Structure 1
Amino acid sequence: MTYPPQDPAGQPGQYGPSQPGAQPPAGGYAPGQVGGESYPTTHLPSQQQYPGQAPQQYPGQAPQYDPAAGYQAQYPQYGAPPVQPNTKSSSSTILLVIGVVVLMAIGAFGGYYFLGDDEDATLADDDATVQDTPGGGEGEDETGGDQESEAPPAPSGTHLEVASLGSVTPIPGAEWQPAAGPGVASEPLADAELYQVNHTETWVSIFGVGLFSGAAAVFDPADLNASALSASEVWLGDGFSTVEGYQQSELTYTPVEVDGRPGVLAEWRNSWTASPDTTDLYEDTALLVVDVDGVNGFIGVASVSESGAALYDPAIEALLATDFDAEAA
C-alpha cells in the first residue's frame, strides 16, 4: 500500500436616526435673533437734588456717590478713614515663605540621604540574588540545562512498544525498518510505533502497534469483531487510491488470546488489476484487536504486499506474541 494514513465578527452597532435640531421654547430665542424678548422694567421715581444736599436714601439702598462732593457722604464730618500700611502682615508673609523654603530643602536632603541608602541596599540584594542563582543563564533550568522538552523516544531496534498500555511486541524480522514513533498517531492507532519494508519508492508493507483510538473508530470490548471492522475501515483510508480495479475480500474473524487477554484477528485481501506504484496485484492485511482491561484496546496491523508474501506469517506471530506486562515499555 502507499504510506499509511497518518466568532464571526458581528456588525458594528448602529446609532439611531439623527434627531432634529432643538426648537427654541415659546417666547425664547429664535435663529438670527440677538437677544431674547424684552420685558418692561420698574424704575424708581426721579429725585430732585439741590447743590450741597445729600442724595436721598431709601431703606436698604446703598449710599450714592456724589461726583461734585467727592467721596460719598458717608462720613460727612471726618472724611474717609486713612488707610494704614499693614507692615506686620507683610513681615509675617516673608518669614513664612522663608520657613517653607528651608523646610523643603531639609526634606529633600533627608529624603535623598535615607532613600539613597535603601536603593543602594536593594541593588546590592538584587546583585547577590543573581549571583547566587544556579545555572546563571536565561532559558536554563536549575541544573544549568536547557528548558526545552525532551526528545521523543527512539525505536529500540528490538521491539515495538505502546507506553500507555505497557505493551511490547517483537520486531518480525530484520527486513522491517523503523517508519514512525514510538508515540505517534496513525489512525486508528494512537501512541503508536510503525515499521515498514520498502518494495518501491512509493509502495511499502506496514507493521505497527498502538492504542485503539476511540476518536477514529468504535471500540467495544463486548464486540471485538465489530471493533475490528470499524478499525479496518479507518485503516484502509486512501491507502489503495492509486490502484485500478480495487477489490476487498470479506473479513474473516479468528478469536485469539494475547498474554491472557481476549482478542480477535481480522484478515482480508486487497487486490487490484494495475497500479502505477507497483507490479504487485494484491496485499494481505491482518488486524489484531485486544481488550486490555475492559476499557482500553490494543490494535496491531500487518499489511504485507505480494512482493513480501513470506513476511506475512512471521508478522502475525509477532503480533500474537505481544506482552502487556513487559518492563521495557
Structure 2
Amino acid sequence: MTYPPQDPAGQYGPSQPGAQQPAGGYAPGQAGPETYATTQFPGQPPYPGQPGSQPYPQYDPNAAYQAQYGQYGPPPVQATTKSSAGTAILVIGVVLLMAVGAFGGYYFLGNGDDEGRLNADDATVEDTPGGGEGETGEDDGGQDPEAPPVPSGTHLTVPSLESVTPIPGEEWQYAAGPGVASEPLTDAEIYQIQHTESWISFFGVGLYSGAAAVYDPADLNASALSASDVWLGDGFSTVEGYQKSEITYTPVEVDGRPGVLAEWRNSWTSSPDTTDLYEDTAILVVDVDGVNGFIGIASVSETGAALYDPAIEALLATDFGAETA
C-alpha cells in the first residue's frame, strides 16, 4: 500500500457646534464690551485746578463712623490674621510620607540591594521544573519526567493501555511512536517495510480511535469493519482494477480478553508504485476493559508474503498490563 493518512472616528465623537453668542453680542472666551461705574464728588468740576474750582473737602473717617454708629462709635473688629504655617507643615508631612513609602517599597521588594536580588533568584530556581540538582543535591540530568516513551527496539507499545506487542521480525523497521495517531489508531506505535519509494507493508498497534471509527465493545465484528473502511482510505487509490475480497471474522482471545481478527485481500491489475498485484490485510480488535479497545493492523504486500503469518502471531501475542509497557 501507499503511505497511510498520517478608521477610526475620534474617540470622543464629533466636535460640538460652536457656541452661539447670547443677546448683547458676548460669547464665552471672547473679550466683550464692559462698562465701569464712575464716581464724581458733588460740586467737583470735571477737571480740578481749573478756575472756579473748589478745594476738596477734608475727609474725616471718625465723623463717618459716628454718623453711622452714634456716640459709641463702631463695634470692635476681631483680628482675622491668616497664617500659612499650618498649610506648610501639612505639605511637608505629605512629601516626607511619599518619600519614605517609595524608599521602603524599593528596598523591601528586592530592587535596592543584593539580598532582594538573591531572594528573587532563589524563587526562580525553585519554580523551574527539570534540570539541575534535585532535592537530594544530585544532578538529575535535566530529564523531563513527562517526556514521551521511546521505542524499545523489541516491542510496540500503547502507553494508555499498558500493552506490548512483539516486533514480528527484523525486516520491520521503526516508523513512528509510541503516542502517534494514524487513523483509526491513536496513541500508536508503527513499523513498516519499505518495498519501493512509495510502497510499504504496514504493522501498527494503538488505542481504537472512537473519533475516527465506530467502536462497539458489544459488536467487535462491526467495530473491525468500521476500522477497515477508515484504514483503507486512499491507500490503494493509485492502482488499476482494485478489488477487495470478502472479510472473514475469527473470534480470538488475547491475554484473556475477547477479540476478533478480521482478514481480507486487496488485489489489482497494475500499479505505478509496485509490481506486486495483491496485499493481505488483518485487523485485530480487542475489548480491553468494556470501554477501551485495542487495535492492531498488519498489511503485507505480495513481496513480503512470507512475513504475513508472523505478523498475525505477533498481534495475538499482545500482553496487557505488562511491566515493560
TM-score higher than 0.5 here?
yes
User: 1:288, CA displacement in angstroms?
Assistant: 0.9
Structure 1 residue ranges, 4+ long, deviating more than 6 angstroms after superposition: 56-60, 124-131
Q: 1:307 to 1:59 in 2, by over 3 A?
A: farther
User: 1:313, CA displacement in angstroms?
Assistant: 1.8
1:192 and 2:183 correspond: no
Identity over aligned pairs, percent: 69
Query: Could you tell me which residue of structure 1 aligns to residue 21 of structure 2?
Result: 24
The count of aligned residue pairs is 266
Query: Could you tell me which residue of structure 1 aligns to residue 99 of structure 2?
Result: none
Query: Could you tell me which residue of structure 2 aligns to residue 35 of structure 1?
Result: 32
Q: 1:260 to 1:275 in 2, by over 3 A?
A: same
Write out per-residue CA displacement over residues 218-237 of structure 1, whole angstroms, 9 at most, x where no aligned residue.
22212222222222222122
Letter in 2 for 1:48: G
Match of 2:260 among 253, 258, 264: 264
In 1, distance between residues paired with 2:176 and 2:221? 27
- Secondary structure of the equivalent of 1:164? helix
- Secondary structure of the equivalent of 2:160? coil
User: Structure 2 length as normaliser, TM-score?
Assistant: 0.67
Letter in 1 for 2:18: G
Tell me if structure 2 keeps the 8 A contact 1:285–1:301.
Answer: yes
User: 1:324, CA displacement in angstroms?
Assistant: 1.1
Q: Structure 1, unaligned stretches of length 5 or more?
A: 61-99, 105-110
Q: 1:24 to 1:125 in 2, by over 3 A?
A: closer
Query: Could you tell me which residue of structure 2 aligns to residue 307 of structure 1?
Result: 303
Query: Could you tell me which residue of structure 1 aligns to residue 171 of structure 2?
Result: 175
In 2, distance between residues paired with 1:286 and 1:232? 9
Letter in 1 for 2:213: A
In 1, distance between residues paired with 2:120 and 2:20? 73
In 1, distance between residues paired with 2:194 and 2:275? 14
Write out per-residue CA displacement over residues 91-134 of structure 1, whole angstroms, 9 at most, x where no aligned residue.
xxxxxxxxx9xxx9xxxxxx9xxx99xx9x96379679989x99
Write out per-residue CA displacement over residues 39-68 of structure 1, whole angstroms, 9 at most, x where no aligned residue.
7x76556422533631488979xxxxxxxx
In 2, distance between residues paired with 1:267 and 1:14? 72
Tell me if structure 2 keeps the 8 A contact 1:283–1:304.
Answer: yes
Q: 1:173 to 1:24 in 2, by over 3 A?
A: same
Tell me if structure 1 keeps the 8 A contact 2:19–2:27.
Answer: no
Letter in 1 for 2:57: Q
Tell me if structure 1 keeps the 8 A contact 2:199–2:273.
Answer: yes
Tell me if structure 2 keeps the 8 A contact 1:134–1:144.
Answer: no
User: 1:264, CA displacement in angstroms?
Assistant: 1.7
The farther-off stretch of 224-233 and 144-153 is 144-153
Letter in 2 for 1:123: D
Q: 1:12 to 1:212 in 2, by over 3 A?
A: farther
In 2, distance between residues paired with 1:134 and 1:51? 98
Query: Could you tell me which residue of structure 1 aligns to residue 2 of structure 2?
Result: 2
Query: Could you tell me which residue of structure 2 aligns to residue 64 of structure 1?
Result: none
In 1, distance between residues paired with 2:10 and 2:265? 65
1:324 and 2:324 correspond: no
Letter in 1 for 2:132: D
Q: 1:42 to 1:157 in 2, by over 3 A?
A: closer
Query: Could you tell me which residue of structure 1 aligns to residue 57 of structure 2?
Result: 53
User: 1:296, CA displacement in angstroms?
Assistant: 0.9
Q: Structure 2, unaligned stretches of length 5 or more?
A: 45-53, 66-91, 97-102
Q: 1:30 to 1:152 in 2, by over 3 A?
A: closer
